[in-house]
Amino acid sequence: MKVLKFGGTSVGSVKNMLHVKEVVDDGQPKVVVLSAMSGTTNMLIAIADSIQYSETNKAIESINRLHETYSETIEGLLINQSLSIKAKAYVNEVFNFLLQSTYKSYSHLLRNEILAQGELLSTFLFTCLLEQENIKVALLPALDFMRIDKTKEPDFFYIKKHLQALMETKSRSDIYITQGFICLDENGQVSNLQRGGSDYTATLIGAAINAKEVQIWTDIDGMHNNDPRYVEYTSPISNLSYDEAAELAYFGAKILHPQTVTPVRQDSIPVRLKNTMCPEAYGTLIDANAFESGIKAIAAKDNITAIKIKSARMLQAHGFLKKVFDVFETYETAIDMITTSEVAVSLTIDDDSSLDMIVKELEKFAVIEVDKNQSIVCLVGHSIVHHEDTFKLFQVLKDVKIRMISYGGSNNNISLLVPTSEKVTTLKNLQRYVFKLVS
């Protein structure tokens, strides 16, 4: 069985939902994972924000506007009278819940319950659409099987056991539909897999049912060799290894949630990235066989904080780095890049929620400098450190002030730290130097 995930744009309009219906209706059994219609999650976040800051009128206005969009979607999608009535009743229920939420006192749980409505709506409407076409379809509520534990990691055994049991109860269906993104936490309360988390839902399901393949259907023809939001003339990459895809996703290639390949790499389940608007395009295949060497792609991750830790006592002293790392360990903060000299260590973090405490601890034994608003620009490929063309990337040193370079930590990744204001220039120039092979 295959797992097909469709993102926000793919289900973002009646026209696009009809495209998705064409793709999934091929007579093969499958699990279909859907995101919320594009714009919905952002809107739900804005509603939760308004409730948090007691801006009740603003929240109600947004809820009514969103309700209208869904009423229009039902009009365009469902001609069958009874399905249209069923869909309207469900949508009314959701929007009544949202309206009632404006009178509740704000909590993190309320926010998560509000955010969950986007995927609940899209899957309900899409199920009605397939029912209208007489397709044997079953809606699997993600909250009945998707769960994270107290470390916020997926509880894989729970997921596998409950998903398999649920599918057995609906074994006469051709297409199973479920919500991406949403899950329960360790206390059984509504939570989610973070922004973009539907990709992660898809591969978790893929691993749980030992799928033949996981397909991520989106609005672009696969992973491009640079960020198409900032750079012109990027092109799709046909094949990536799990390692390459994982690095690109972690370092900012928005097309994939950072954890997407984690569940499937161990069982070598292939992941295919496809374009819903152009299904004939090859896209990108991520599997264990992609080993051509050289730089394959460039990505960038924002909101990075650089911390310089300077101490004269570091000179020839052992144990200094351990002391530094212990501080980050205490505050459960992951370090991305690190460079050292005789008297200083520079490192980067992307989660700065404990920054003040970390700095306070470090100041007990070193002088600390903090630079916010940095970006990691990451070049990824197989064996790139040894590749004969790799030197070309260093031409970028003449264009931008690079704060840190990490080269040789692995053969597959070279990372540059630049101020975020220089990110686009860095990406554009690297594109010229690396892929147009300017010597």
Binding site for Mg ion (CB under 5 A): 7, 196
Residue 312 CB, nearest approach to ligand ADP (Å): 43
Residue 197 CB, nearest approach to ligand ASP (Å): 5
The footprint of ligand ASP on residues 17-36 (CB under 6 A) is 35-36
Are 382 and 291 contacting, i.e. CB atoms less than 8 angstroms apart? yes
> Which pair of structure tokens corresponds to residue 98?
């949202």
How many Cβ atoms from other residues are within 10 Å of residue 208's Cβ?
24
Confirm or reject binding of residue 255 to ligand ADP (CB under 6 A): yes
Residue 120 CB, nearest approach to ligand ASP (Å): 11
Residue 297 to residue 334: CA distance in whole angstroms? 24
> Which pair of structure tokens corresponds to residue 303?
């909101």
Residue 352 to residue 303: CA distance in whole angstroms? 9
Confirm or reject binding of residue 254 to ligand ADP (CB under 6 A): yes
Confirm or reject binding of residue 223 to ligand ADP (CB under 6 A): yes
Confirm or reject binding of residue 41 to ligand ASP (CB under 6 A): yes
Closest Cα to residue 252, out of 224, 281, 220? 224
Confirm or reject binding of residue 274 to ligand ADP (CB under 6 A): no
Residue that the structure tokens 């219609």 belong to: 37
219 binds, among ligand ADP, Mg ion, ligand ASP, none (CB under 5 to 8 A by kind): ligand ADP
Confirm or reject binding of residue 195 to ligand ASP (CB under 6 A): yes
Confirm or reject binding of residue 220 to ligand ADP (CB under 6 A): yes
Q: Which is nearer to ligand ASP, 257 or 296 (CB)?
A: 257
Residue 39 to residue 43: CA distance in whole angstroms? 6
Residue that the structure tokens 């034994």 belong to: 365
H-type helices in 212-261, by residue range? 242-250
Confirm or reject binding of residue 204 to ligand ADP (CB under 6 A): no
Q: Are strands 2-6 and 30-34 parallel, antiparallel or unpaired?
A: parallel
Are 223 and 255 contacting, i.e. CB atoms less than 8 angstroms apart? yes
User: What is the DSSP annotation of 389-424?
Assistant: TGGGGGGGGGTS--SEEEEEEETTEEEEEEEGGGHH
180 binds, among ligand ASP, ligand ADP, Mg ion, none (CB under 5 to 8 A by kind): ligand ASP
Residue 264 CB, nearest approach to Mg ion (Å): 17
Residues that bind ligand ASP (CB under 6 A): 7-8, 35-36, 41, 118, 180-181, 195-198
Residues that bind ligand ADP (CB under 6 A): 7-10, 35, 196, 218-220, 223-224, 227-229, 253-255, 299
